[in-house]
Structures are given as structure tokens and as C-alpha cells.
Amino acid sequence: MQKRTLGKNGLEVSAIGLGCMGMSFGYGPAQDTKEMTALLHAAVEQGITFFDTAEVYGPFVNEELVGDALAPFGNKVIIATKFGFDIQNGKMVGINSRPEHIKEAVEGSLKRLKVDVIDLLYQHRVDPNVPIEDVAGAVKDLIAEGKVKHFGLSEAGAQTIRRAHAVQPVTALQSEYSMWTRQHEAEIIPTIEELGIGLVAYSPLGKGFLAGKIDENTTFADGDIRKVLPRFTEDARKANQALIDLLGTFAERRNATPAQIALAWVLAQKPWIVPIPGTTKLHRLKENIGAVTVQLTPQELQEIEDASAQIKITGTRYNEQMERSTGL
């Protein structure tokens, strides 16, 4: 497995990580704990060292799953988690990044993850009621106490990133980035490149769509977030099939799969971008890992750029309320 470095303080991780949310949350009922533990072990054996979770996934149960499964591997793995929501009676009830709440959240995460220090701690969503300087200051204190190694932000804007970075250097920004979600290329990616911050790309396969197995006839289980996303309406799925057709063309040419081309495209954008596709299936895990061997040439990348520029993506990634508050 190739390695990549996030940020200026040398956080080295596998070139592809594993997003663990879907094992417990977001895509229908939670998966079987034994099966997911076996999958996490297989990921380590296949060379993945970078695992992503959050206290709100479940809530709490995803951190517990990841903590239990990865405990035998100790410091051979890097676990990222996130704070930033109020959780009451097992439900997310709002955003909260008050410094005292951050410190409470970290104590809970340390216990659930069965670690003495959190490798990478993200603010899950920006809290409009708390200055980002206070958030960065709270994490700086936790780093000084030896409870956190690296500070990250998720879905933050350019000015917020700059303000946070001035207080406590930001190692990584986690934001959605894929062939059909590219709005961060305008301002965010140039900003983090200037500051030396890595990008952790979540949903690099477009919540599964770019793998080419979802079409207008697909049905989603109760509890699957895609049931309510504008980009996953039946009409949108039909319209967005053009992007899958494009991926399929290159997949055939390279003896790869559409998912591998989509991930290879993300990897090719910058050497400090690390995609974290999620899966609950061993064959998908192996398929995703195989993307690191698909090196798209400059000519192929330009062909993809020219062709994809002609494709209009139908549907927004979230509705307005979800854009403000979602932890996905």
C-alpha cells in the first residue's frame, strides 16, 4: 500500500483510508458486529492504516466498533474521529463546539476507541455560535495534554480554515470530494495547498453512485440517507448516469472498474489528498484498494476533464437544512 502525508507535521497514512460510518449508521440498519470486525481486520491486513469514525455515527456505536476491532493493532493504525454535536438520549440534537463540550466529547471518544491519544480530531461541522479560534484553542490544549495528536476541520470555509490554522495548525480538512462534487476546487483546495493542509476526501465514490451499481431502479432501505438526497431521486439518478458511462469507458480501457477509475481520479488530483471510501463488503474493500495501482496519465486526466465538463450533474448533494446540520 502506498502512503501519503497529511499536513506539515508528518501524519503518514495509507493512500486510501476506510470510512467506517456506513457500518453502523447512515445507510440503513447497522451491520453485524462480527462481520464488520472481520472487515476492519482485513483492511489492516490489506495495508490500510487510516480509519475514519465519529461520535455521532450511531451515535457512539461506530466508535465502539472501531475501537474494539482495531485495539489489537495499537499504534500501527491511525484513527480519526470527530466532535461537534450535542447528543441527547441517543440522538443528535444540534451543533455544539463549546470548548468545555469538546473536552467532554474527547474523553468519551478516548474510552470508546480504547486509546490514550486520538490521532486526528476533527470539528465535524463549523459551529456558528462559537468563534473558530476558541475551538482551535480547545484542541490546542488537548494536544498539549497529550490527548490529541492532530487537529482537523470538516466542511469548513476558506476563512474559517485560515483563522483556525493561525491558532493551532490544521493537519487535514475532511470534505466531500469526488468527480461529481467539485465545488471545493474554486477556493478551498487552493487555500489548504497554500497552508500545507491535507485533504481527506469523504464520499469519493459519490455515496456509492460512482461505483456504477446504482441506477433509476435502485431502492434504498429505511434509514438510508440516500432516500432523501436530491441527487438520488429517480430522475436525478437517470440523468447522472452519463457520468457512470464516462467512468465505464475508462474502466474498460484500463481493465479496471468504474469505482477504481473514480478513486484513481481523486488520487491523481494532488499528492496530499487521501480518499476514504466506505464499504461493508470485503470484495468492495479489495476493489477500492486496487485503485492505488491505477495511474491515470495526464492525457487520460485531460480526456476525463473535457468529457465531464459536458455533463451537468442533476441534484444538489444535500438539501438546505441538511447542508447546515448534517454529520454525514
Domains defined along the chain, listed by start:
3-208+267-294 (3.20.20.100)
CB atoms within 10 A of CB 60: 17
State how far the Cα of 150 lies from the Cα of 82, in Å rounded to an integer: 12
Residues 227-267 have pLDDT tens digits of 999 999 999 999 999 999 999 999 999 999 999 999 999 99
Query: What's the pTM?
Result: 0.96
50-52, strands of its sheet edge to edge: 18-19, 50-52, 78-83, 118-123, 148-154, 170-176, 198-202, 273-275
- Cell numbers for 99, please give them: 470548548
State how far the Cα of 41 lies from the Cα of 23, in Å rounded to an integer: 14
pLDDT of residue 323 exceeding 80: no
Are the CB atoms for 109 and 85 separated by under 8 Å? no
Among 139, 65, 132, 64, which Cα is nearest to 95's?
A: 132
Q: How far lies 226's CA from each of 44, 62, 96, 210, 326, in Å?
A: 29, 19, 25, 14, 13
Are the CB atoms for 246 and 308 separated by under 8 Å? yes
Q: How far lies 234's CA from each of 229, 240, 242, in Å?
A: 11, 10, 14
- Cell numbers for 60, please give them: 457512539
> What's the confidence (pLDDT) of residue 319?
80
- Rounded mean pLDDT, 142-158: 97
Q: Which residues of 205-226 are buried (b: 16+ CB within 10 A; e: fewer)?
A: bbbbbbbbebeeeeebeeebbb
Show which residues are catalytic: 57
- Rounded mean pLDDT, 78-107: 96
- Rounded mean pLDDT, 107-125: 98
Q: Which residues of 286-317 are buried (b: 16+ CB within 10 A; e: fewer)?
A: ebbbbbbebebeeebeebbeeebeebebbbeb
Mean pLDDT of the chain: 95
CB atoms within 10 A of CB 268: 17
Is the Cα dihedral 98, 99, 105, 108 positive or negative? Answer: negative
Q: How far lies 184's CA from each of 93, 176, 218, 323, in Å?
A: 28, 8, 29, 15
pLDDT of residue 281 exceeding 60: yes
> What's the confidence (pLDDT) of residue 325?
58
**Which residues neighbour 305 within 8 Å (Cβ) at sequence distance 6 or greater?**
none
Among 203, 207, 213, which Cα is nearest to 258's?
A: 213
Structure confidence at residue 320 as a pLDDT band (50, 70, 90):
confident
More confident residue, 13 or 91: 13
State how far the Cα of 37 lies from the Cα of 67, in Å rounded to an integer: 10
State how far the Cα of 159 lies from the Cα of 173, in Å rounded to an integer: 13
> What's the confidence (pLDDT) of residue 318?
87
pLDDT of residue 328 exceeding 60: no
> What's the confidence (pLDDT) of residue 327?
56
pLDDT of residue 324 exceeding 70: no
